Amino acid sequence: MPNWTVSARTSESVALLLYPGFSNHCLANAVEPLRAANEFLGRNYYDWSFASLEGDKVISSSGLPVMPERHISDHQGGDHLCVLAGYDVQSYAHHKTARALQSASRRFAHIIGMDTAPWLLARAGLLDGKAATIHPLERVRFSEAFTDVRVVADRYVVDGHIMTCSGATTAFELVLHLIARSHGEALKLDVSSMFLDASLDPGAAGVPIKTRSPKLAQVLAQMSDNIENPLPIAIFAQAVEMSQRNLARLFQQELGATPQQVYRHLRLSTAREYLQHSPFSVSEIALRCGYKNASAMTRAYVAEFGVTPSQTQSSRRSDMPRR
């Protein structure tokens, strides 16, 4: 069962190994959730760096040049190594790549193949006997080339210390999974809500498809739409034709929290966004988030985030990411 909150370590290090032709979209979806998580946490919990096979400049599929900080062979290792490759992945599936990845697998706690990069991991023997996924356009050739790999069509796959995902959007989902594993579903929900536009999928409420039932997504969307005038949980249960007990069980199974806890967090997260990005007073924000007065919201806010609304306002940053 997922945890709503988790006591994380002091930091996690992430290296991104880029191959020519990598997707800008995939790279952004690997890094931006980590940046946002740091913002929400108020500290640099995640530290990332860029590497390449030779240590030289790498050009993305759209022509964006990235100058890595080091050769991957010179990297001391860390928690996660994300490998990103593009359309011409097979031309880089040679002995030098295989040796580099085999060596890296002994220095990094987790190896993550994104987009077409699972092909490189498989050529290095890192996927033997494991389940894995890859970009849909490569799936048939991949399964024919690597018969020791159990190829599945999932959006992302976690098999021990090896993880794979099938494209740019699923890279975002996989990084959210890593965030939830370290910090809990609450931070994952905050980060996903920042980047995903619910208008693209009215039932999604900015929540990744892989880990959400349609009924849970519907309730989360309704909660998000009723921040200023909170509704009883019974109303949400009726809307999805469930008993309150069954709805509570669904929330515990998917998020590790009660509907009341999640609803309160959504309201207070909205309050935090107002505090960071609006000129409203604490009293006005309290009313906009369904609290009778500033004192009531302050008590809840301190219990949720460990700081007062006034402290959040005074430490606001102009570069805080917005939804």
Secondary-structure breakdown of the chain: helix, strand, coil percentages, each rounded to the nearest 5: 50, 15, 35
Q: How many CA atoms lie within 13 A of 52 on its CB side?
A: 17
Mean pLDDT for the stretch of residues 131-136: 97
Per-residue model confidence (pLDDT) at position 315 = 79
Q: How many CA atoms lie within 13 A of 8 on its CB side?
A: 21
Q: How many CA atoms lie within 13 A of 182 on its CB side?
A: 19
| pLDDT band, residue 319 (cuts 50/70/90) | very low
Per-residue model confidence (pLDDT) at position 8 = 82
Using alpha carbons, select from 79, 150, 73, 75 the residue that is nearest to residue 118.
150
| pLDDT band, residue 194 (cuts 50/70/90) | confident
Per-residue model confidence (pLDDT) at position 213 = 86
Using alpha carbons, select from 207, 205, 191 the residue that is nearest to residue 323.
191
For residue 298, pLDDT beyond 60: yes
Per-residue model confidence (pLDDT) at position 242 = 97
Q: What does the pLDDT look like over 201-211, one tens digit per residue?
A: 333 444 544 45
Per-residue model confidence (pLDDT) at position 9 = 85
CA distance 216 to 212: 6
CA distance 134 to 114: 8
CB 175 within 8 A of CB 29: yes
Q: What does the pLDDT look like over 59-97, one tens digit per residue?
A: 999 999 999 999 999 999 999 999 999 989 999 999 999
Contacting residues for 291 by C-beta, under 8 A, at least 6 apart: 267, 297, 300
Backbone angles phi, psi at 89, to 5 degrees: -60, -35
Give the strand pairing for 70-71 and 131-132: unpaired
Structure tokens at 45: 């919990």
Q: What does the pLDDT look like over 258-279, one tens digit per residue?
A: 999 999 999 999 999 999 999 9
Give the strand pairing for 150-151 and 131-132: parallel
Number of DSSP helices (H) and strands (E) in the chain, helices first: 13, 11
Structure tokens at 51: 């590497």
Per-residue model confidence (pLDDT) at position 318 = 43
Q: How far apart are the first and last CA of the chain?
A: 28
CA 246, chain centre distance (Å): 27
Q: Tell me what the pLDDT averaged over the chain comes to.
A: 92
CB 21 within 8 A of CB 86: yes
Q: What does the pLDDT look like over 198-238, one tens digit per residue?
A: 433 333 444 544 456 899 999 999 999 999 999 999 999 99
CA distance 166 to 170: 6
Q: What does the pLDDT look like over 17-29, one tens digit per residue?
A: 999 999 999 999 9
CA distance readout (Å), 33 to 176, 231, 267: 7, 30, 21
Give the strand pairing for 78-85 and 12-18: parallel
| pLDDT band, residue 314 (cuts 50/70/90) | confident
Domains along the sequence of the chain with CATH: 12-181 (3.40.50.880), 196-314 (1.10.10.60)
Per-residue model confidence (pLDDT) at position 201 = 38
CA distance 132 to 149: 7
Contacting residues for 243 by C-beta, under 8 A, at least 6 apart: 237
Q: What does the pLDDT look like over 98-107, one tens digit per residue?
A: 999 999 999 9
Mean pLDDT for the stretch of residues 244-254: 97
Where does residue 63 fall: left (phi above 0), alpha (psi -120 to 50 degrees), or beta otherwise? left
For residue 190, pLDDT beyond 50: yes
CA 289, chain centre distance (Å): 26
